[in-house]
């Protein structure tokens, strides 16, 4: 498949997470005590996440059987998803290469419309390779929209580029880029947990939550 900036539509419809928050979701959930009152509602439990990750791994394996794609993790938020995806691929005996890239388009609770790229990725690692970008969440698609042509310029002989995203946010405006492998379609709430942060907090939650007003207003510097 030739590299294209117009990333293909998802091959499997994501699981729809309803608009209404789950009730009673705190039972059986564990989180650091400093986050008390910071969690508005539970969106996706860890067990549901891991089951969906296994589904995505099976789809990737079906497409790349006999090939060794580069799984390119977009740090930091995608890291837990990435690690569990790799575990599931290993269980399927799927070979792959691992690479990491640090990209950010967020400032607080808003998407800035600009990205910052780092992480020391060498373009040569992507030459003549099939590449799967592993993202935590797609909302406006701004990150991918700007990242794809940069990768194309740096690795001109890249064979293909696809996107695997755990979450796709439902917005009024369609995203600028799509994921071929998509886990969940979620309502337009600011979410945290399972690698997703708000000002570098809450990545250490096992489940995915909607952040509360108290969480948004919390001064992270007070934790030292």
Give me the active site residues, please.
139
**Cα 183 to chain centroid, rounded:** 9
CA 72 vs CA 134, 153, 177, 198: distances in Å: 6, 16, 17, 23
For residue 4, give the 3-state DSSP assignment: coil
Is residue 141 within 8 Å of residue 168, measured between CB atoms?
no
Strand-by-strand arrangement of the 39-44 sheet = 39-44, 208-211, 191-192
Query: From the CA atom positions of the chain, what is the Rg in Å?
Result: 17
Ramachandran angles phi, psi of 91, nearest 5°: -60, -30
Is residue 18 within 8 Å of residue 187, measured between CB atoms?
yes
Ramachandran angles phi, psi of 64, nearest 5°: -115, 15
Distance CA 181, CA 162 (A): 8
Distance CA 75, CA 154 (A): 19
């Amino acid at each position: 498949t030739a590299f294209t900036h117009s990333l293909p539509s998802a091959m499997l419809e994501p699981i729809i997470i309803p608009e209404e928050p789950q009730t009673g979701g705190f039972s059986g959930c564990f989180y650091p005590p400093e986050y008390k009152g910071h969690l508005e509602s539970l969106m996706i439990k860890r067990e549901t996440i891991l089951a969906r990750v296994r589904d995505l791994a099976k789809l990737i394996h079906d497409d790349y059987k006999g090939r060794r794609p580069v799984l390119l993790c977009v740090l930091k938020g995608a890291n837990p998803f990435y690690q569990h995806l790799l575990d599931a691929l290993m269980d399927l005996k799927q070979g792959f290469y691992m690479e990491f890239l640090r990209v950010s388009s967020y400032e607080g609770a808003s998407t800035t419309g600009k990205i910052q790229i780092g992480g020391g990725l060498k373009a040569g690692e992507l030459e003549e390779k099939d590449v799967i970008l592993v993202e935590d969440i797609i909302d406006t698609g701004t990150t991918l929209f700007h990242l794809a042509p940069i990768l194309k310029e740096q690795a001109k002989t890249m064979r293909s580029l696809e996107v695997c995203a755990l979450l796709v946010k439902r917005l009024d405006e369609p995203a600028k880029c799509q994921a071929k492998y998509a886990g969940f379609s979620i309502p337009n709430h600011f979410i945290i947990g399972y690698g997703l942060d708000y000002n570098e907090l809450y990545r250490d939650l096992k489940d995915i939550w909607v952040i509360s007003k108290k969480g948004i207003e919390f001064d992270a510097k007070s934790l030292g």
